[in-house]
Structure formats: structure tokens, C-alpha cells
Chain A
Amino acid sequence: MYLQEAQSKTLIARFGVRVPDGRAARTPDEAAEGARRLGGPVMVKALIHAGGRDPVGGVRLAETPDEAHAEADRMLGTPLVTAQTRPEGEIVGAVQIERMLDFDRALYVALMVDQRRAVPTLMASMEGGTGIEEDAARAPAMVQKYPLDADGGHNPAALAAFFDMLGVPGTHAESVLETVEALIRAFVESDATLIEVNPLALVEDGGTVALDAKIILDDNALFRHPELKAMNDIAKGDETELLAQANEINFIAMDGEIGLVVNGAGLGLATHDMVIEAGGRPANFMDIRTMATPSQIATGIGLLLDRPETRVVLVNVHGGGMTACDRISDALGMAVEGRTDTPPVVFRVAGQNAAQARAAAAALPIRCTVSTDMGEAVRLAVAEAGR
């Protein structure tokens, strides 16, 4: 679960991290009012569920409340396209109005789990600010890693030495250490998979202030954080994917004509690859999870049938365990029931109960081509889409 900036700051502030005075605004008038209350220049920042906002006009300085009004008016209700959003961008529903702070230097600080060592790892750089991801890709030594214990434990003196080595000035050594220790607690106690604070500004009074924050929480751990789960506000455009999730299906929408019904992430990726290499364009990526019931799978198939762009549905399922193939033919039957405009279906299943499933699919009142071979099924679907 991706927390946007305002939520991320609320969360880390709870653990004692200093964040700028600010508030979210949903209208230009609220933005101007927010700027008036703060006094002086403010930052106007688009609140979306992705980073990369700065280079595309999603973060602007406003000297006066009128300017804040104008910037908010420009951002609100329009899609912001960044390198990290889907191609059509995300509609900006709110902006953050924040006091502008003067600072000379800023850190980049992030916490993640290192897959090789399987421990939470701190990553930090004295070159905080916009563009550090790109710069670090060219010069990886710019970001230094500091592995923590499994529970986030660490030796405070050694951690202080790490920041000294990075070049944190003595004036800010204490507040940087306090802030980073608060972030470590936030990471472990909130079951985050990513906390990124960039820039972490070193301000005049010797303090450090998190000017931006990005947090990704572990969806699989939300069961023990009901208060965080309640923060989930759905990004516009993600409704389809969330409906699929609720039905035990991983679903990513794309803009092609070939609807894919596949079980398992690996087979889903393989099918997607094969369709593209055969010259077709997938409408989606699908991974039906093991626990999905036929009616849940029918809901997933329905998402494809509801799109006018879907010209053919390609079923490619390898049945086993709880996902026997006849569950898929049952689901297809449920999904097409009552529809008169079902596009042609290429039905390819293998594994447990494959023969019954093929017979059941062929008997449905739709145009259904049954295939026993994955490569052939892909070719048939691509040909059908191009008809």
C-alpha cells in the first residue's frame, strides 16, 4: 500500500520526525487559505500515489496566497504524468500546502530490506534532493548502505560514525541520528517495505526536517495494522485492479485487445511475453491465485468482457491443487451467462481435469476454440484479434 506524501509525513511525525507545517487542500480556495495561515512563501505539491513530481510541475513555489490559488487551480482535477505513474497519469485530488524552508544541505535517507542479506538496510547520501535516483544509477557509491539487525537493532555509536563518514556536519549530528532512529522504528513497527525521506533538510537551528516522504507498507502485514489500513485512499484508475484483488486475482490493466485469463504469476508473464512476441497486444496481465473460487474467477473474466476494446479472450491455465481446470470452465460459463456480445474465446487448459474443462467450454453458447497447446493458443488468439 502506497502512502502519498501527506499520509507518509503524518506517519513518521508520529514517531518523532519533524515535518514542515502544512495542510492538504482539495480546492484552490483551501490552498489560498492554507497559504495565508502559514504566512510567507509556500510549496504547493500534488498529492498522488507516485514520485517523480518535481520535473513535471507537480511541486511549485508560491510566494503569495494568490499564487498558491493559481497553482492549486492548475493542478487539481487534472492528471499528473510522472515517470512512476501509469501512462495516463493520476488525477490530482488534493495538494499539500507547506511552509517553505531555507536550508543549505539535505540528505537522502531510505530504509528497505536487502534481499541478499535479508535484513533491513539504511541507505543514505549527502546529495539529497531531486534527481538522486538518476544520479545514483550513474554513481552508485553516492548512496551508502548500512545494514541493521533483523529487528532494526543497531549500535548507535557505529550509526553516528556512519553519518560522520557521509559528511553530516557536527552541528546536525545529533538531530540526524535521532531522526534516522525514529525512521527505523517507523519502518519496523509499521511493517513498511520502503521508507524514503528525500530531501531531509539540515536547517539553521541544528534540526532536520523531512521535506518529502514516501512510504510503502507491506500489504501482507496490514492485518496487524488496522489503523494504517484505514488510510488507504484509492488512486483514481485503480478500481479495476482493486476489485480483482478482492477476488484473489492479480490484475494489471493494459491497452491491448487480447484479454488474458491465466493462473500463476510465472505463467501470466510467460503468456504476456508470448502474445507480444506473436505480434499481439495484451489487454491485461492476470494471475489467478490458488484460493480463487469459480465466482471470483468469473468476476475477473467479467472485467475483460466489460471492456469494448477486448476482441478476444485467451484462457491459458495450468490446473492443479485447488485450481483444477474445471473451475475455469465453470467460471467462464458464469461470466458469459446473460451476455450477448461475448468476444471469441480461445480456451487452452492443461493439468488436472483438463479434459472435462475442454468439453465444458466447447459446450458453452459462445464462439470458443479449444486448443491443447500453449503456443498454438497464443497464435490463434493473435490471429483472432487481427481479424
Chain B
Amino acid sequence: MSALIAPGARVMVQGMTGKAGTFYTRLAMDYGDGEGGGYVAGVTPGKGGSAHLGLPVFDTVRGAVDETRADASVVMAPAPRAAAAMIEAIEAEVPTVVCVTERVPVLDMVRVRDALRGSGTALVGPNSQGVLVPGARKLGVMSTADALPGGIGIAARSASLTSEVVAGLSAAGLGQSTTIGIGGDPIHGIGFARCLALFRDDPDTEAVVLVGEMGGIEEEEAADFLAADEYGKPVVALLVGRHAPQDRRLGHAGTIALLGSGTLAQKSALLESAGVLLAHTPEDVVRALRDGAS
């Protein structure tokens, strides 16, 4: 087992026939355990009945699910169509939807979140590098050069910093169970708290790393979740933006202070009092987990 994506997941791609869709689907199909990465279908309205990258293309998500028993979708549709694609997958009751599209309008995401209410779908993203189960499944656009199967679960707001942490962990012999990019936008799918619950319930995950930054509410929600109950696994948080000037737009769009967004110092204090080990650099993360494990 692993968190969120089962090793045998059957994956479709919404927007596979586009330039980015083609580029990243090809890479993802070459990754993992040699069954074409688990990829079984593409969905592009108007291109149903054709084939692309050796996979059947369907007009609708429902059609792809019915024919191929796909149980996860990667949304790579361009920003103006991404929300409609996510909502279509949610309405077709796809269990896991991962959206990597950048620059999706905020009010489109408000509509997507409305569609998620009461549904069983776990949405990851948008503006996410995706979900990686090292050695098995790649649902996304992340670097896989340094990923190694193992017991560390990672949930992150940033892609390149995740790659940095993954490289450091793998070099120290600490592999990863699942890495989840929750995305950098202010309104998105699952957050740190849900990822923590998934990693807690995943027997393959022994410890968790959160990669956060200033702005937003993710770190606060993670601290609330961890403070509520005994977590039972070590959690390390790497928080960046310690020296970001106030009122300047650095980092992700999600870092604009909208409502009730705390400073990095407040986030650090909340996480620390919830039992989280704080790290300042990717090297610190490796050190904390290596020393903690011994």
C-alpha cells in the first residue's frame, strides 16, 4: 500500500494530446514498474476514438472510466479549461484527481471546491508537481532523477524544493513512500492536514516531511491536526520565506495574505508546540530524520 495512489492504480490523463500533456505523459509512462506506468487512457473532448502514445483517447472521463476502469486522473488541460476538467472528473466519481495546470483562476477553484463538497474524490492541486510513488507510479511533472522507494512521506507546497529534499534524503539512504505536491495556489484540493492523515494510515510511511512557506493556512491546519491527537510518527517541517519582506509578493500566489494567514514565526511556533521538528534547510531535514531514526 501507499498513501493516496495504490501501486496498481490505473491512470488517465485529461489533456494528454496537448504539447505539455504529451511530453509529461510519455515521461510518466516510462517511469515505474514497466506496465506503461499504469497509464490506460487519455481524455480530450472531440478526439474520442483516436489513439495517442499508444493509449485510447475518449471524449469524456465517464467514457474512459467505463472502458478502462481508470481510477485516477491527471489533469493537464490548459488553465482556461482546467476547472471544467476537474469538475468532470469529480462528477464521474474518480477517486483521485491530480491537477498540475498552473494559473487556474481563483474563482474557478472556488467552483471546483464547491463540486468537491460531499464527493469522495481526493483532489491534488492545481499548480502541483503531482504525486510520486517512487519506483511505481508518477502522476505529475516532478523530477524523478533522485527518488528512491522507502518510508518517508512528503507533502509540499513547492516542487523544486521537494526535489531538493528528495535528493538529500535519497543520498542518505532514506527513501520515500509517497511525495504529494499540494500546489501553490490559494484555493486548492487536499492540504497538509489531509496528507498527514493519509500518511498516518499508510503502513509504508514511517515519518513525514512537510515543506511549507509563509502565507496561507496550510501550516496552521497541520498544527491543529497534529495537536488534536497522538500522531505516532515523526514529523519534520521545512519552512521557507523566513526573510521574505512583508507585503511583497514572493513565492506562490497562495502566499498573498488573504484571510487569517499567519506569519512564518507564528506557523513555526504552532508546529513546534504540536511536536514537529523544524528544519531550516534541506540538509536539516536529512539530519533530523537520520538522527531521529537512530
Residues of chain A at the chain B interface (Cβ within 8 Å): 83-84, 86, 112-116, 118-121, 145, 149-151, 188, 191, 193, 218-221, 223-224, 252, 254, 262-270, 272-274, 276-277, 285, 287, 289-291, 317-322, 350-352, 354, 374-375
Contact = CB atoms under 8 A, between A and B. Distances in A.
Contacts of B2: none
Contact of B258 (A113, A267, A291, A374): A113
B186 to A, nearest CB: 5
B1 interface: no
A266 B156 contact: yes
A252 B242 contact: no
Interface stretch (B10-18, B64-72, B280-288): B280-288
Contacts of A191: 105-107
A270 B281 contact: yes
Interface stretch (B37-45, B88-96, B211-219, B226-234): B211-219
Contact of B160 (A86, A219, A263, A354): A263
Given A115-B217, A191-B106, A220-B79, A270 B259 contact: no
A221 B105 contact: yes
Given A115-B187, A266-B158, A374-B282, A320 B241 contact: no
A331 B251 CA distance: 22
5 contacts: A112-B258, A116-B217, A221-B108, A320-B141, A322-B141
Nearest to A266: B158
A149 B221 CA distance: 23
Contacts of B243: 272-273, 276-277
A352 B187 contact: no
A220 B105 contact: yes
B24 A321 contact: yes
Given A220-B79, A375-B281, A112 B163 contact: no
Interface residues of B, number: 69
A266 B211 CA distance: 8
B113 to A, nearest CB: 4
B80 A224 contact: yes
A316 B243 CA distance: 18
Nearest to A375: B283
Contact of B106 (A193, A266, A272, A274): A193
B143 A351 contact: yes
Contacts of B278: none
Contact of B103 (A113, A220, A320): A220
B110 A113 contact: yes
A352 B164 contact: no
Contacts of B240: 266, 269-270, 273
B143 A269 contact: no
A139 to B, nearest CB: 15
Given A114-B259, A150-B114, A321-B143, A269 B107 contact: no
A315 to B, nearest CB: 13
B250 A320 contact: no
B143 A113 contact: no
Given A115-B187, A223-B80, A265-B213, A273 B280 contact: yes
A84 B107 contact: no
A10 to B, nearest CB: 21
Contacts of B184: 265-266
A290 B143 contact: no
A252 B107 contact: no
